[in-house]
Amino acid sequence: MRRGKPALTGLAAALAALGLFEAWNHRTGLLPLAAGALAADVLPGPVDTMSGPLVLGLAGFSLPRGGHHTQVAALGWSARLFLARGLT
């Protein structure tokens, strides 16, 4: 049995915790965090790179309304990617 990569799994846990904090802090609810975590499974194409969450997170800075929702979704997506990489 493979052990995985504990540093990547720890980073995934830290990103998920930050996503939970940001969801609480900006009162976005958990839906954006869950949607971001499921984005890699739902979206077509190569979504297993960090470019998707990076673009989504940066787009949150330029949106006049709802920017916090996209940033929380980006944190969920990033946490999901690092968790998958850490467990393989």
List helix spans (H) across 1-88. Answer: 6-25, 31-42, 51-62, 67-87
| Residue 16 to residue 10: CA distance in whole angstroms | 10
How high is the pLDDT of residue 5? 87
From residue 30, alpha-carbon distances to 23, 34, 49, 83 in Å are: 6, 6, 23, 18
Q: Which residues, 6 or more positions from 65, have their beta carbon under 8 angstroms from its beta carbon?
A: none
| pTM for this entry | 0.88
Question: Tens of pLDDT along 6-44?
Answer: 899 999 999 999 999 999 999 999 999 999 999 878 887
How high is the pLDDT of residue 1? 41
